[in-house]
């Protein structure tokens, strides 16, 4: 062949090769293979499906919207239209295989025509239902995909027909406990019928449908199997629970009185009435494995030990008395108290004798208190002291001297009787009057006689102001008997009603009479007021820093204060039926403590100031939404807030803050992270002011 004839042939051959190559890349575009086949029987979402003989497949290198996001339903429906109940050809990832959730990573194809298959991954991208999410850890490159690929005109023999696909899972909720990190209780020992108790947990819905309303029962059990037959503590309700969401549930209040003493497991039953049709009914029960609860409602028992001189109750000045106490399997003994005859109660710390007491009959009264404030009934021992102590001998000798002196004086007075008669009567009368006045102060009965600290404070006040005092009252949490026994009480507020303020010392900067001092680690506030000030609000403001209406409620209503000494003056105070509250002042007092909390560098002091602010805000909410409310008790304010929150959703958040403050006063810890709680509280209060929910609206 000549060169001239060879050139046209070479050109034609080269062009043909180029066209064949271009056609190969246009049609083929990338390497692919069929590793397995099966029928698509369940569409999970836009990029996940279940295939018979293969399992769950995650479409490689694309991403569609998640549940709840825009486009989720459209992507899922489009994938359903492409593959549901059809044979799919699976190109498995040979590099990594499965993703962290155990799903096969693959590109899948469906029949398009006799010569081509459709790339389902690419189809979702082309239709705009997915975006490329290219992972480096698999064999695929989404940028090289084509929508259609050639396949063998004569495919291999089809696999044997698969078994009938299982029915798609039914859409039901599945409620279960969220885990031990989200459950707990405020204390591990309580007294039935008196202790404050709080228990909480989280409930999560792991099913594929939302739930309706359900209840959660909290129970005490003698073993770790929690059943509805166990001792009922309390319950909480959840209105509904979306898929993959959770809710906090809790109960707090006075621990039930019908639960006997013993050690218990604490647990709960979710959907206790079995109203919710769940996909798994066997995971509704849970319990706290790390803690048990001691229930102790039984007071301790005290024993007095001594050796009598004769019989069963005759003693002398050397007889030693010893008090011991047992609380059995209970919470433990806190204190033993005793008194001799009608003296004040004192705490037992060491053995004692009656060497400084006269001969004759005496009584020793004694009782104990355990760590849960279970108080034993007072026991009384009657004894007969048969010796003469030094005081008695001295007294009798002095009586003898007085008799001798009396005879001498009488003889002498025969001579000068008339001249000294009047003067002698005056002297005797004066001495007798002064002696009785001093003895009256020292033996004055103090009504609050079971607290040595209060007795000491009142006794000191009587020594300083006895002639001026009308009455002494205790107010505030220290004197609130309904508080839990483990409530930290170290703030003492005492009000003295006096005849005149002139004799009371004052500070240089104010005319208001008050004292602040530390007493045995407690913060003592003494306020001095006259009865006249309670009749006139303007005069009261000149005698006290307190809010007039608040203080009047404290003093007028016996459940809000404790008479420690003197005359009950409540009948002399104005009625509180038609009080007009100064809401600005009450709200400011709550915000004042929150401001102090923000400025305080010591975290514990800041936490305490925040709790004070919450309690004062609670009182403000009560009197604003119910002006007839007349209690200053922390517990009663909490109950009122819960009652008000039923019809006023805006108060529900304050109830949560209030419960957190109560938990802090018992445990020294907030349930919520403190700084987050304080920030949320301030945002909550100012949002209510901004919305005009409270007595005034922020401008």
Cα separation, 459 vs 308, whole angstroms: 35
Residue 564 is encoded by which pair of tokens?
């420690």
Rounded distance, CA 89 to CA 513, Å?
92
In angstroms, the CA 180 to CA 286 distance is: 9
Whether 527 and 494 have beta carbons less than 8 Å apart is answered as yes
Query: CA-to-CA distance for 41 and 28, rounded, in angstroms?
Result: 29
Q: Classify 9 as helix, strand or coil.
A: helix
Count the neighbouring beta carbons within 10 Å of the beta carbon of residue 427: 10
226, two tokens: 């929690």
Three-state SS string across 79-127, please? HHHHHECCEEEEEECCCCCECCCCCEEEEEEEECCCCEEEEHHHHHHHC
Paired residues of 529 in beta bridges: 497
Which residues touch 50 (CB under 8 Å, ≥6 apart)? 40, 41, 42, 44, 56, 57
List the catalytic residue out of 92, 103, 480, 589. Answer: 103
What is the maximum span of the chain, computed from C-alpha positions, in angstroms? 185
Between strands 491-498 and 469-475, the pairing is antiparallel
Sign of CA dihedral 191, 665, 648, 579: positive
Sequence-separated (6 or more) residues with CB below 8 Å from residue 79: 43, 46, 47, 49, 64, 120, 124, 129
Answer yes or no: 58 catalytic.
Answer: yes
Query: How far is it, in rounded angstroms, from Cα 692 to Cα 681?
Result: 17
First-to-last CA distance in the chain?
A: 104
Cα gap 419→414, rounded to integer Å: 10
- Taking the C-alpha atoms of residue 363 and residue 343, their distance in angstroms, rounded to an integer, is 10
Q: Please state, in angstroms and rounded to a whole number, the distance separating the CA atoms of residues 680 and 676.
A: 6
Using left for φ > 0, alpha for ψ between -120 and 50, and beta otherwise, residue 629 falls in beta
Active site residue 665: no
61, 145 Cβ separation under 8 angstroms: no
The whole-angstrom separation of Cα 387 and Cα 314 is 10
3-state secondary structure labels for all residues of 232-283: EEEEEEECCECCCCEEEEEEEEECCCCCCCEEEEEEEEECCCCCCCCCCCCC
Phi and psi at 49, nearest 5°, equal -150, 165
Phi, psi of 367, rounded to the nearest 5 degrees? -165, 170
Report the side by side order of strands in the sheet with 379-385: 314-315, 379-385, 360-370, 333-340, 346-347
What is the per-residue DSSP string for 303-344? EEE---SBTTTEE-TT--BEEEEE-TTSS-EEEEEEEETTS-
**Other Cβ atoms closer than 10 A to 301:** 15
Q: Which residues pair with 302 in a beta bridge?
A: 325
Q: Which two tokens stand for residue 238?
A: 């959840």
**Given CA atoms 103, 106, 112, 113 in this order, what sign does their dihedral have?**
negative
- Find all residues with CB under 8 Å of 54, minimum gap 6, and list them: 36, 38, 90, 104
User: How many CB atoms sit inside 10 A of residue 669's CB?
Assistant: 12
Nearest to 192 by CA among 450, 370, 377: 370
Say which of 66, 150, 347, 532 is annotated catalytic: 66
What is the 8-class DSSP label of residue 138? S
Quick check: is 103 catalytic?
yes
Give the catalytic positions in this structure: 58, 66, 103
């Amino acid at each position: 062949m000549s060169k001239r004839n060879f050139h046209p042939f070479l050109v034609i051959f080269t062009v043909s090769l180029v066209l064949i190559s271009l056609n190969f890349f246009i049609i083929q575009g990338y390497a692919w293979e069929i590793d397995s086949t099966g029928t698509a029987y369940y569409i999970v979402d836009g990029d996940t499906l279940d295939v018979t003989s293969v399992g769950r497949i995650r479409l490689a290198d694309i991403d569609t919207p998640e549940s709840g996001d825009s486009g989720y339903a459209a992507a899922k429906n489009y994938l359903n239209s492409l593959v549901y109940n059809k044979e799919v050809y699976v190109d498995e990832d040979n590099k990594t295989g499965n993703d962290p959730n155990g799903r096969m990573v693959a590109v899948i194809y469906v029949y398009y025509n006799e010569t081509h298959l459709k790339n389902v991954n690419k189809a979702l991208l082309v239709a705009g239902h997915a975006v490329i999410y290219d992972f480096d850890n698999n064999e695929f490159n989404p940028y090289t995909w084509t929508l259609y690929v050639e396949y063998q005109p004569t495919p291999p023999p089809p696999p044997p027909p698969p078994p009938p696909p299982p029915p798609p899972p039914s859409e039901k909720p599945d409620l279960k406990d969220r885990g031990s990190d989200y459950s707990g209780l405020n204390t591990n020992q309580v007294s039935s019928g008196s202790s404050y108790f709080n228990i909480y947990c989280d409930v999560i819905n792991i099913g594929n449908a939302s739930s309706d309303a359900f209840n959660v029962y909290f129970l005490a059990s003698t073993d770790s199997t929690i059943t509805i037959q166990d001792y009922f503590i309390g319950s909480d309700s959840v209105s509904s629970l979306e898929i993959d969401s959770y809710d906090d549930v809790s109960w707090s209040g006075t621990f039930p009185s019908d639960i006997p003493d013993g050690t218990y497991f604490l647990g709960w039953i979710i959907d206790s009435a079995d109203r919710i049709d769940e996909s798994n009914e066997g995971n509704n029960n849970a319990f706290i494995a790390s803690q048990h609860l001691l229930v102790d409602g039984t007071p301790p028992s005290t024993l007095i030990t001594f050796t009598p001189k004769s019989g069963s109750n005759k003693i002398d000045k050397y007889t030693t008395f010893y008090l011991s106490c047992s609380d059995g399997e209970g919470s433990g003994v806190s204190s033993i108290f005793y008194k001799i005859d009608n003296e004040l109660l004192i705490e037992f710390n060491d053995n004692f004798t009656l060497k400084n007491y006269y001969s004759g009959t005496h009584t020793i009264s004694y009782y104990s208190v355990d760590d849960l404030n279970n108080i034993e009934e007072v026991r009384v021992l009657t004894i007969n002291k048969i010796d003469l102590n030094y005081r008695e001998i001295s007294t009798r000798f002095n009586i003898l001297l007085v008799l001798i002196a009396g005879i001498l004086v009488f003889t002498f007075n025969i001579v000068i009787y008339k001249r000294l008669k009047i003067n002698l009567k005056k002297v005797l009368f004066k001495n007798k009057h002064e002696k009785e006045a001093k003895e009256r102060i020292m033996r004055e009965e103090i009504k609050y006689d079971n607290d040595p600290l209060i007795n000491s404070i009142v006794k000191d006040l009587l020594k300083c102001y006895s002639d001026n005092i009308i009455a002494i009252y205790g107010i505030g949490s220290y004197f609130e008997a309904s508080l839990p026994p483990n409530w930290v009480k170290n703030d003492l507020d005492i009000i003295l009603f006096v005849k005149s303020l002139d004799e009371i010392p004052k500070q240089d900067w104010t005319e208001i009479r008050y004292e602040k001092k530390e007493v045995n680690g407690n913060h003592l506030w003494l306020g001095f007021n006259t009865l006249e000030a309670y009749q006139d609000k303007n005069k009261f403001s000149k005698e006290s820093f307190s809010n007039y209406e608040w203080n009047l409620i404290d003093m007028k209503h016996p459940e809000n204060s404790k008479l420690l000494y003197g005359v009950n003056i409540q009948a002399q105070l104005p009625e509180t039926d038609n009080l007009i509250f100064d809401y600005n002042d009450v709200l400011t007092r709550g915000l004042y403590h929150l401001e102090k909390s923000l400025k305080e560098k010591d975290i514990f002091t800041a936490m305490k100031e925040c709790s004070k602010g919450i309690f004062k805000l609670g009182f403000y909410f009560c009197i604003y939404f119910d002006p007839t409310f007349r209690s200053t008790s922390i517990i009663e304010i909490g109950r009122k807030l819960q009652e008000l929150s039923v019809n006023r959703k805006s108060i529900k958040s304050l109830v949560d803050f209030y419960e957190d403050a109560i938990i802090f006063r018992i445990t020294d810890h907030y349930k919520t992270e403190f700084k987050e709680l304080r920030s949320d509280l301030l945002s909550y209060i100012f949002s209510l002011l901004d919305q005009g929910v409270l007595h005034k609206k922020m401008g």
